[in-house]
Chain A
Amino acid sequence: MTTMKRRLTSTLVAASAAALLASSPATASSEAHGPEITRQQWSFGGFRGQYDQAQLQRGFQIYKEVCSACHGLSRVYFRNLVQPGGPGFPEESVKALAAEWPNQITDGPNDEGQMFERPARLADPIRGPYKNEKEARAAQNGAYPPDLSLIAKARGVERNPSWWTHPFLMLGDIFASYQEGGADYLTALMTGYVDPPADVKVNDGMYYNTAFPGHQLAMPSPLSADAVPYSDGTKTTVENYAKDVSAFLSWAADPTLDQRKRMGWQVMLYLFVTTVLLYLGKRRVWSKIKH
């Protein structure tokens, strides 16, 4: 009886030990994934982070002067550029910006039953140059420049640690509240244009990029140093451009982050204090009862 028990216990131990020690599954299919993406320092990162208004303004400038040539931002409205927690431009300058925005709004029908184009107003979305996907593909050699409103949320950084470090890294991310994978990826993408390795043949109309999955994408390197002048003294390097526009696109995808994190602290404080008080109350209630 006891030998049988011991044998059973040792089988169980052996089974779990085998599970722990044998070859690491993480070595499989590492080819399918992109390279490790560097984590940047973001003012809005972590649980205390808030957007840096000056950075959002610079980021919008990059979007306007560079990205908007091909990409729309149609879930963001001109009015959002005025609101607190965002770039916070003065209302008058955004009104003027909307009126001059080259991609006008299709409105109508008018009294004659015709649709017409009119300049944008504060209440209108920030449109890209193409009316629809077909028009975009026709103009872009078959490629489709996606709308950028949600791009920072729709991209992430996939890490592939070995299976036994995985839970610890996960807990680390939860504790540090890491949510900036999209911004990290976008920065890596925009600074990731290099000459292809000798053994890689880049297809016609494609460009080599270290961060892009598969390494070949149809967008040429969008940023070059000193292409956009900054008025606040920030160095006009590709790296700064990339980080500023990534920060701006993070705001575009998550415009309520500032309010969310501020309120989060108030809620956490309330919960901590209440939990402690309730615990003290519970101890008092149970003080005469051994349990």
Chain B
Amino acid sequence: MSGHTSSYEPTSRWGKWWDERLPIPRMMHGQFVAFPTPRNLNYLWTFGGILMFCLIAQIITGIVLAMHYQSSDVLAFNSVEHIRRDVNFGWLIRNMHAVGASMFFIAVYIHIFRGLYYGSYKAPREVLWILGVIILLAMMATAFLGYTLPWGQMSFWGVTVITNLFSALDTIYTGLGTAIVEWLWGGYSVSGVTLNRFFSLHYLLPFVLTGIVILHIWALHVSGQNNPTGLDIKEPSESVPMHPYATSKDIVGMFAFLILFAWFVFFLPDYLGHPDNYTEANPLVTPPHIVPEWYFLPFYAILRAFTGSFLGIPLGSFAKLFGVLAMFAAVLILAFAPWLDTSRVRSAKYRPLFKWAFWAFAFTCVALGYLGSKPAEGVYVMWAQIFTVLYFLFFLVAMPVLGLIETPKKLPRSINEAVLGPDAAAAKH
């Protein structure tokens, strides 16, 4: 934390030499060895490390794939098959990268829900949280660009649908949306030109992402970690050094997560994908149902909830624009959580009403995910509209109102009291 100073003492001559010139070992020791972490963190706090692993694994497997991949509309699909069939262990690298994207999102969603439950977004961690939302956006952009690259039917039509969203801006200023879409495509339709630039950006964004992740970790190391009680660390005995305490726990969480990861890589590599992506892109044949990857389904459901009307309110030609705005708003609204939540208490553990709202919100997200996988017709549309409203109600009503009206449970006086019980904590004084 900010008040924390490094106890690093270089012992070797080599260590002293560096310490006077570029004290990286001192920084690493201060931030990742002696750094104080709350003693009461549970396994949900291991997802930060898991996400770091996911990012590094995606970059390494991605760099290897790029050595064998061809980003041309004629060769892309064949080159992926070449990787699967003829490159030594190409199938393994390719499965790790494709499954890895899904695992990255599973981990990031758990990480975000953990933050929402324990109030990790509240002061003084607003900047840390907003950096997290930017990371989520960058991850989504990277995943979307990456899904284009195999150049299968779902790649092609997914890109067509999503890039076309920008044409909704035509309803604000004629020609603006179309101009943006053609600029993104590099032509008048999705083509090899689009594929090539998407490959370039897909390679670029993870490094931008890494930069934001470094800022995210920096911000974390200024304010320190939140913990299940939501209370601040008040005295040194409430924290333990990061190493070996947090690190020994992080690595257990990471290996448990790797079991799930490996299960999909080796036994279910195509479960999270779509069969249509094993058919090469064909601009002349539209698949019956165009669906994005599972991690986009809740947002896709919100987008498609805005048909000609929304819960009986006619939208006319603005329907598409509203859908697009709602979809982006669904992500961006997360960034406002620190100010929408009016409660002085951080952790939902001590917030009897907010706890309900949180689980209702979690159910809403899963329901939207289910509805996003279904065709936008009949009763699905109505349910998507209802859950879209519930999604935004959580942020716009539950967060501000519950903080004002609910009486929180009695908070422990300190982390030590929560962990050791009131008597033992008092005896320490």
A25 touches B268 (CB 8 A): no
Docked pose: A154 CA to B77 CA in angstroms? 13
Q: How many residues of A contact B (CB 8 A)?
A: 57
Docked pose: A268 CA to B255 CA in angstroms? 11
Residue A235, interface by CB 8 Å:
no
Chain A nearest CB from B225 CB (Å) reads 14
A289 touches B268 (CB 8 A): no
B249 touches A272 (CB 8 A): no
Q: Would you give the 0/1 interface string for B394-423, flagging 1 where the beta carbon is closer than 8 Å to chain A?
A: 000000011001110000000000011000
Residue A106, interface by CB 8 Å:
no
A150 touches B370 (CB 8 A): no
Q: Which residues of A contact B244 (CB under 8 A)?
A: 285
| Cβ contact of B379, chosen from A13, A25, A153, cutoff 8 A | A25
Chain B nearest CB from A256 CB (Å) reads 5
A5 touches B405 (CB 8 A): yes
Docked pose: A116 CA to B84 CA in angstroms? 31
Chain A nearest CB from B236 CB (Å) reads 13
**Chain A interface: which of B18-26, B113-121, B274-282, B331-339?**
B274-282
A153 touches B275 (CB 8 A): yes
B363 touches A291 (CB 8 A): no
A282 touches B252 (CB 8 A): yes
Residue B353, interface by CB 8 Å:
yes
A153 touches B278 (CB 8 A): yes
Docked pose: A72 CA to B64 CA in angstroms? 31
A264 touches B262 (CB 8 A): yes
Chain A nearest CB from B256 CB (Å) reads 6
Q: In chain B between 363 and 378, which residues have their CB closer than 8 angstroms to a CB of chain A? A: 363, 367, 370-371, 374-375, 377-378
A29 touches B248 (CB 8 A): no
A154 touches B85 (CB 8 A): no
A255 touches B85 (CB 8 A): yes
| Cβ contact of B363, chosen from A16, A27, A28, cutoff 8 A | A16
Q: Which residues of B contact A13 (CB under 8 A)?
A: 356
Docked pose: A177 CA to B84 CA in angstroms? 20
A150 touches B278 (CB 8 A): yes
B245 touches A285 (CB 8 A): yes
Question: Quick one: given A12-B360, A75-B85, A253-B278, are A278 and B251 in contact (CB under 8 Å)?
Answer: yes
Residue B173, interface by CB 8 Å:
no
Residue A198, interface by CB 8 Å:
no
Residue A275, interface by CB 8 Å:
yes
Residue A155, interface by CB 8 Å:
yes
Question: Quick one: given A5-B353, A153-B270, A272-B259, are A25 and B380 in contact (CB under 8 Å)?
Answer: yes
Q: In chain B between 348 and 362, which residues have their CB closer than 8 angstroms to a CB of chain A? A: 353, 356-357, 360
Q: Which residues of A contact B357 (CB under 8 A)?
A: 12
Q: Which residues of B contact A150 (CB under 8 A)?
A: 81, 278-279
Residue A135, interface by CB 8 Å:
no
Q: In chain A between 82 and 125, which residues have their CB closer than 8 angstroms to a CB of chain B? A: none
Taking CB as reference atom, which chain B residue is nearest A252? B85
Q: Which residues of A contact B256 (CB under 8 A)?
A: 275
Residue B14, interface by CB 8 Å:
no
Chain B nearest CB from A16 CB (Å) reads 6
B262 touches A28 (CB 8 A): no
Docked pose: A275 CA to B250 CA in angstroms? 11
Q: In chain A between 180 and 215, which residues have their CB closer than 8 angstroms to a CB of chain B? A: 181-182, 213
Chain A nearest CB from B85 CB (Å) reads 6
| Cβ contact of B262, chosen from A5, A155, A271, A286, cutoff 8 A | A271
Question: Quick one: given A150-B279, A153-B270, are A28 and B378 in contact (CB under 8 Å)?
Answer: yes
| Cβ contact of B248, chosen from A8, A9, A281, cutoff 8 A | A281
Residue A23, interface by CB 8 Å:
yes
B405 touches A267 (CB 8 A): no
B252 touches A289 (CB 8 A): no
Taking CB as reference atom, which chain B residue is nearest A166? B370
Q: Which residues of A contact B407 (CB under 8 A)?
A: 1, 5
Q: How many residues of B contact A (CB 8 A)?
A: 59
The A-B contact count (CB < 8 A) is 144
Residue A168, interface by CB 8 Å:
no
Chain A nearest CB from B268 CB (Å) reads 5
Residue B92, interface by CB 8 Å:
yes
B375 touches A19 (CB 8 A): no
Residue B8, interface by CB 8 Å:
no
Docked pose: A27 CA to B401 CA in angstroms? 37
Chain A nearest CB from B417 CB (Å) reads 12
| Cβ contact of A260, chosen from B41, B266, B379, B402, cutoff 8 A | B266
Residue B160, interface by CB 8 Å:
no
A256 touches B390 (CB 8 A): no
B85 touches A9 (CB 8 A): no
Q: In chain B between 23 and 42, which residues have their CB closer than 8 angstroms to a CB of chain A? A: 39-41
Q: In chain A between 241 and 288, which residues have their CB closer than 8 angstroms to a CB of chain B? A: 253, 255-256, 260-261, 263-264, 267-268, 271-272, 274-275, 278-279, 281-282, 285-286
Docked pose: A142 CA to B363 CA in angstroms? 49
Residue A4, interface by CB 8 Å:
yes
Docked pose: A282 CA to B253 CA in angstroms? 11
Q: Which residues of A contact B263 (CB under 8 A)?
A: 47, 174, 177, 268
A1 touches B405 (CB 8 A): yes
Question: Quick one: given A9-B356, A291-B39, are A278 and B377 in contact (CB under 8 Å)?
Answer: no
Docked pose: A286 CA to B402 CA in angstroms? 37
Taking CB as reference atom, which chain B residue is nearest A23? B379
Q: In chain A between 18 and 34, which residues have their CB closer than 8 angstroms to a CB of chain B? A: 19, 23, 25, 27-29, 32
B378 touches A261 (CB 8 A): no
A154 touches B380 (CB 8 A): no
Residue B215, interface by CB 8 Å:
no
| Cβ contact of A290, chosen from B245, B258, B386, B420, cutoff 8 A | B420
Question: Quick one: given A264-B262, A286-B245, are A177 and B267 in contact (CB under 8 Å)?
Answer: yes
Chain B nearest CB from A88 CB (Å) reads 17
B91 touches A268 (CB 8 A): no
Q: Which residues of B contact A35 (CB under 8 A)?
A: none
Docked pose: A174 CA to B261 CA in angstroms? 12
Q: Would you give the 0/1 interface string for A138-156, flagging 1 where the beta carbon is closer than 8 Å to chain B?
A: 0000000000011001111
10 interchain pairs (CB within 8 A)? A12-B360, A15-B360, A28-B377, A47-B263, A75-B81, A179-B269, A260-B91, A285-B245, A286-B248, A291-B40
Seed contacts A279-B252, A282-B248; 15 additional CB < 8 Å A-B pairs: A15-B390, A25-B383, A75-B81, A149-B81, A153-B275, A178-B271, A179-B269, A260-B91, A260-B95, A263-B92, A268-B259, A278-B251, A286-B249, A289-B245, A290-B39
3 shortest interchain CB distances as A-B pairs:
A264-B266, A28-B378, A177-B267
